[in-house]
């Protein structure tokens, strides 16, 4: 095995695994604080302005934007298409296992920037309904932090990444520092009236897309542009309006001269110093050559996404950590959860039938209905705990997906499709999944990836609370459509498999007690003080589409680091 330089044993101030929401923010904060940082990314380095297919038309692709049938089994998720498949991890190279009766859809990106290249852009804040959920309803554990601890840092990150939004003064969904929001479309305005009759609220989605470039920090502006509303964010933004790690974090961090990014670096395990009990670096495999290397750092940061970071820790076994690194509590890998998703509704607003078809899908996102269940005695209560939200949208898109729902043939059929096109309204529910010990990941001893690294076995199932919540998602959507005068055209009443929401969280629990948690409130491993694990979420739950790492890293790094007076500004723990 070779060290990364092949000549000298260079020791960085920090070695960071992963370059997406977590790793990118860690690199940005640390490099700008003066640390010499190495980022290891398992995937390729893309040219964001040439390798994205943001503005390609279907007729320009031999498969009309679809994945060839011969390769589709490697991308079983419906939202991965021919425009984006080069960004995602292939299943033949990156396998995992599940019990036969418990499917799980693990969606991974393998590229510098990770899933921030193609994320859903929904940028919500936790409230104390989330941080202090046990205090509110008695279930689980409270986070060791509260909203007031994070608010100043939330604000800084909003300013850094650019977030469209409106000020609503909702205690369950705190306001942020917003740029100009997207306006509601006609169909969304009609739906809003029906939503309000139920006591809920429909608001513009808070999207991590800049509408006012001039409001971004000066050192970031050169890499970003204001949104031009092309509507193809899901393919990756080739002008840098949508937040992604390379344009908003990594490139500005490189200006310091303190950041090195090495793509094609598949990390196997964390290396430990037997004398000190601290992490001394990581072992990794070159994705292309399959040669093995080591990289050394005074601090090791795992920001490789929730399950990949836990996989690395579970694979980092030794006589000092026989059950996986930093796992004296025995809870590493447990408490996996995400969101229920897939229950969705399509409706028709008769008053919009035959309206003019305009560029209504040229927006970064649609609208959002925040949680309205189980908040206080004046809110709507339910026979389950916690709650759910909806993501909504309306109007005409590039392809009339409703066409398959309509009868007819020939010109009359075409006229019907066109008349209905601007009148379609859609809702999709995202429900909280409770954190339970039995939902877990572990190393599968019989399965390895293309680089001979042991893979994960993922074991999770929804419970009674999720089933009752899903019933309510359906009933409330029906009520909202009815109140708005929207005709229900089609619906899917069965949630997708766990993982399909791409909001997986847990498995490296944060808490004050090292007997019941893996990380402390600074995301620092209880057992290994210079190991920091910043995942999508380190504790118990997340409201729809949020990635807690986008704010917590910004606070955690500078607040937890003590600098000495040397010019190297060493990181001491």
The pLDDT of residue 553 is: 38
Q: Strand runs (DSSP E) across 184-241, as ranges?
A: 203-204
In this structure, of 274-288, 365-379, 424-438, 524-538, the range with the lowest mean pLDDT score is 524-538
Task: Specify which residues 368 forms β-bridges with.
Answer: 203, 391
pLDDT at 78 over 80: no
| Tens digit of each residue's pLDDT (9 = 90 or more) over 82-120 | 889 999 999 999 999 999 999 999 999 999 999 999 999
Find the mean pLDDT for residues 366-378.
92
The pLDDT of residue 2 is: 53
CATH class of this structure's domain 2-572: alpha beta
The pLDDT of residue 503 is: 94
CB atoms within 10 A of CB 225: 14
Phi, psi of 19 (to 5 degrees): -130, 15
The pLDDT of residue 88 is: 94
Domain ranges of the chain: 2-572
CB atoms within 10 A of CB 292: 15
In this structure, of 46-60, 108-122, 348-362, 549-563, the range with the lowest mean pLDDT score is 549-563
Q: How confident is the model at residue 398 (pLDDT cuts 50, 70, 90)?
A: confident
3-state class of 382 per DSSP? Answer: coil
Give the rounded percent of residues in the chain with a pLDDT score beyond 70: 92
Find the mean pLDDT for residues 551-555.
36
pLDDT at 537 over 50: no
| Tens digit of each residue's pLDDT (9 = 90 or more) over 232-254 | 998 999 999 999 999 999 999 99
Are 245 and 116 a contacting pair, CB within 8 Å? yes
Q: How confident is the model at residue 276 (pLDDT cuts 50, 70, 90)?
A: very high
Q: Is 215 exposed, middle or buried (0-12, 13-18, 19+ CB in 10 A)?
A: middle
Q: How confident is the model at residue 1 (pLDDT cuts 50, 70, 90)?
A: low
Q: What is the DSSP letter of 503?
A: -
558: its two tokens: 């500078």
pLDDT at 545 over 50: no
pLDDT at 370 over 50: yes
Q: How confident is the model at residue 48 (pLDDT cuts 50, 70, 90)?
A: confident
3-state class of 520 per DSSP? Answer: coil
233 closest CA partner among 86, 67, 395, 116 = 116
304 closest CA partner among 533, 517, 560 = 533
pLDDT at 543 over 90: no
Average pLDDT, the chain: 90
Q: How far apart are CA 556 and CA 549, in angstroms?
A: 10
pLDDT at 569 over 80: no
Residue reference for tokens 């490789």: 304
60: its two tokens: 């320009």
Find the mean pLDDT for residues 454-462.
98
The pLDDT of residue 4 is: 56
Find the mean pLDDT for residues 178-193.
96
The pLDDT of residue 406 is: 86
Q: How far apart are CA 433 and CA 445, in angstroms?
A: 28
| Tens digit of each residue's pLDDT (9 = 90 or more) over 128-159 | 999 999 999 999 999 999 999 999 999 999 99
Find the mean pLDDT for residues 316-328.
95
Q: How far apart are CA 562 and CA 35, in angstroms?
A: 12
Find the mean pLDDT for residues 529-549.
51
Are 230 and 362 a contacting pair, CB within 8 Å? yes
Are 327 and 518 a contacting pair, CB within 8 Å? yes
209 closest CA partner among 186, 231, 187, 184 = 231
| Tens digit of each residue's pLDDT (9 = 90 or more) over 523-533 | 999 999 999 98
Are 123 and 244 a contacting pair, CB within 8 Å? no
Find the mean pLDDT for residues 179-185.
94
The pLDDT of residue 573 is: 55
Please, which residues have CB within 8 angstroms of residue 471's CB and are 6 or more apart in sequence?
A: none
Give the rounded percent of residues in the chain with a pLDDT score beyond 90: 77
Of the two residues 3 and 104, the one the predictor is more confident about is 104
Q: How far apart are CA 98 and CA 96, in angstroms?
A: 7
CB atoms within 10 A of CB 167: 10
pLDDT at 540 over 80: no
| Tens digit of each residue's pLDDT (9 = 90 or more) over 436-449 | 999 999 999 999 99
Cα 307 from chain centre = 12
The pLDDT of residue 72 is: 85
The pLDDT of residue 502 is: 93
The pLDDT of residue 6 is: 45
pLDDT at 559 over 50: no
| Tens digit of each residue's pLDDT (9 = 90 or more) over 412-433 | 999 999 998 999 999 999 999 9
pLDDT at 548 over 90: no
């Amino acid at each position: 095995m070779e060290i990364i330089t092949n000549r000298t044993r260079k020791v960085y101030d920090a070695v960071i695994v992963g370059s997406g929401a977590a790793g990118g923010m860690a690199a940005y904060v640390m490099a700008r604080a003066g640390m010499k940082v190495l980022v290891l990314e398992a995937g390729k380095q893309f040219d964001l302005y040439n390798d994205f297919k943001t503005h390609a038309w279907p007729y320009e692709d031999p498969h009309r934007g679809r994945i060839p049938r011969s390769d589709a089994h490697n991308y079983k998720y419906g939202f991965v298409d021919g425009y984006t498949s080069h960004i995602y991890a292939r299943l033949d190279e990156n396998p995992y296992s599940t019990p036969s009766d418990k499917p799980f859809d693990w969606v991974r990106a393998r590229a510098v920037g990770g899933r921030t290249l193609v994320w859903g852009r929904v940028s919500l804040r936790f409230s104390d309904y989330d941080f202090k959920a046990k205090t509110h309803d008695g279930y689980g554990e409270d986070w060791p932090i509260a909203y007031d601890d994070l608010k100043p840092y939330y604000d800084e990150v909003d300013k850094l990444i650019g977030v469209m939004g409106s000020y609503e003064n909702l205690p369950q969904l705190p306001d942020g520092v917003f740029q100009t929001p997207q306006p509601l479309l006609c169909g969304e305005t009609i739906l809003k009236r029906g939503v309000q009759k139920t006591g809920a609220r429909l608001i513009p989605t808070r999207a991590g897309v800049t509408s006012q470039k001039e409001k971004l920090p000066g050192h970031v502006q050169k890499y970003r542009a204001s949104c031009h509303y092309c509507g193809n964010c899901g393919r990756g933004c080739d002008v840098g309006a949508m937040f992604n790690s390379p344009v908003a974090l990594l490139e500005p961090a490189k200006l310091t001269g303190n950041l090195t990014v090495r793509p094609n670096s598949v990390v196997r395990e964390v290396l430990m110093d037997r004398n000190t009990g601290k992490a001394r670096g990581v072992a990794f495999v070159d994705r292309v050559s399959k040669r093995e290397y080591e990289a050394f750092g005074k601090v090791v940061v795992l920001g490789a996404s929730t399950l990949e970071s836990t996989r690395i820790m579970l694979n980092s076994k030794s006589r000092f950590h026989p059950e996986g690194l930093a796992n004296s509590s025995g809870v590493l890998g447990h408490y996996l959860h995400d969101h229920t998703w897939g229950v969705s509704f399509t409706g028709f607003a008769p008053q919009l039938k035959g309206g003019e078809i305009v560029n209504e899908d040229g927006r970064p996102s649609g609208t959002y209905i925040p949680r309205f269940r189980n908040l206080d005695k004046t809110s709507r209560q339910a026979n389950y705990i916690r709650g759910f939200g909806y993501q909504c949208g309306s109007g005409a898109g590039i392809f009339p997906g409703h066409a398959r729902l309509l009868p007819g043939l020939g010109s009359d059929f075409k006229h019907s499709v066109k008349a209905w096109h601007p009148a379609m309204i859609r809702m999709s529910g995202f429900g909280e999944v409770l954190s339970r010990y039995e939902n877990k990941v572990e190393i599968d001893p019989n399965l390895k990836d293309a680089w001979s690294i042991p893979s994960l076995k993922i074991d999770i199932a929804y419970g009674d609370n999720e089933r009752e919540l899903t019933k309510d998602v359906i009933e409330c959507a029906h009520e909202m459509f009815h109140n708005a005068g929207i005709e229900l055209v089609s619906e899917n009443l069965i949630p997708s498999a766990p993982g399909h929401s791409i909001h997986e969280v847990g498995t490296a629990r944060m808490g004050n007690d090292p007997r019941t948690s893996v990380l402390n409130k600074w995301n620092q491993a209880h057992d290994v003080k210079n190991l920091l694990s910043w995942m999508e979420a380190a504790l118990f739950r997340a409201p729809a589409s949020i990635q807690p790492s986008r704010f917590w890293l910004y606070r955690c790094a500078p607040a937890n680091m003590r600098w000495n007076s040397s010019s190297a500004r060493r990181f001491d723990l």
